[in-house]
Structure 1
Amino acid sequence: MTTFLVLGVAGLALLLLSLVLGDVLDGFLDGLDGLGDGLGGDVFSTAVIGSAVAAFGFSAGIVEALDAPFVVSLLAGVAGGTGFGALAVWLTRLLRHDEAEPPSTGTAVGHEALVLTAVPADGYGTVRVLVGGRELRLNARLDADHPLPLEAGERVHVTGSLSPTAVTVAPLWRELG
């Protein structure tokens, strides 16, 4: 049981070290990247190895403490290590690889924005718009239906997309006071 607990503590230490130092230790495992190509590059990260070793050690130690045979303890350790390793791979991929496409000017249409630099009647200014929790700073031109210039600090409505970096905007309706 002591051997399994030592493995569990060593795995936790490696996991803690990988959390504190980040990806610094992952450089030592770059030679193993080809082995996990079918599984993805996150399989041999220090966080995954640390969590798998810790789960193996503690799972096997707990089962052995229940007076199970050594082989059963090993099988429980392998099951625990594999399960927690797979969970760590999934969480690592979730954190590192954001599958969502970055927002574009097309997705900004219909959102409210804030004028950062004045938008003249015949030129461009800049606006800030939040799309899907991400901030976009875009060039802005007045919508054809609204020829009056906009000052910095005004709230506007994004009405169209001109290019990947430019949108058309119109002032928000203001209630009569």
Structure 2
Amino acid sequence: MVAPPTLIFLLVGGLGAAILAVALLGAGALRVVHVDLGGPASVESIAGFLGAFGFGGAIAAEVLGARTPGQLLAAAGIGVAAAVPTAYLAVRLSHWARNIPTDATPTRADLIGAMGVVVTAIPHHGYGEVRVRFGGLPVKLYARADRPIGLGAEIFVVEAPSDTSVIVERLS
């Protein structure tokens, strides 16, 4: 049987874990105020603090056999000692994750100058298909050209009138 003080600590830890789970599932409504070292609490810091306080306090209460007010206070102190660095790390990690630098999203303007190969012949007044590398990945696009270009010919993109079509010229 779990002692009542331990059960209370476990419920507090479970509440912290539940808050974190809801926050991770995208419940932006839980955002209290954004923290950037020194501001009010964020959802991540509250969840980290409650989780570490509750579970740390539960472990300490069981180890100490907390039945007296002094032992309960010691268990709560151990819970706080676990909770403060956990909340700080939660704030720092969530700040880092929100502000991680990323590359710009490629646009169709980035297609201009790309080189590739014809995978479906391009007729005189129609569309064929080409494969180019775009954003590091092979991409197949519809292609037009001033002159017919045969299967397997190497091309470069001179214009991108839409996200799925390009105007190309044959490489000599």
TM-score of the two chains, using structure 1 as the length reference: 0.53
- C-alpha spacing 1:125/1:132, structure 2 compared with 1 (3 Å): same
- C-alpha spacing 1:76/1:89, structure 2 compared with 1 (3 Å): same
> Can you give the 5+ residue segments of structure 1 that lack an aligned partner in the other structure?
172-177
Deviation at 1:122, TM superposition (A): 4.2
- CA deviation vs aligned residue, 1:58-115 (integer Å, no higher than 9, x gap): 3444456565934343132111222134324434x27xx8832111345444454675
Q: Secondary structure at the match of 1:36?
A: coil
Structure with greater Cα Rg: 2
Matched residues, number? 150
1:101 to 2:107 alignment: no
Compute the RMSD of aligned alpha carbons.
Answer: 4.3
- Give 1:78's aligned residue: 84
- CA deviation vs aligned residue, 1:114-166 (integer Å, no higher than 9, x gap): 75x86332455565655336676755333x6xx3345xxx6665513424633
CA distance in 1 between counterparts of 2:50 and 2:157 reads: 54
Question: Counterpart amino acid of 2:11?
Answer: V
Choose the corresponding residue for 1:10, options 9, 15, 21. 15
CA distance in 2 between counterparts of 1:103 and 1:148 reads: 29
Map 1:52-71 to 2 at 5 A: 52-62=49-59, 67=64, 69=74, 70-71=76-77
Greater helix share, structure number:
1
Q: Which runs of 4+ in 1 moved over 6 A?
A: none
2:106–2:135 contact (8 Å) kept in structure 1: yes
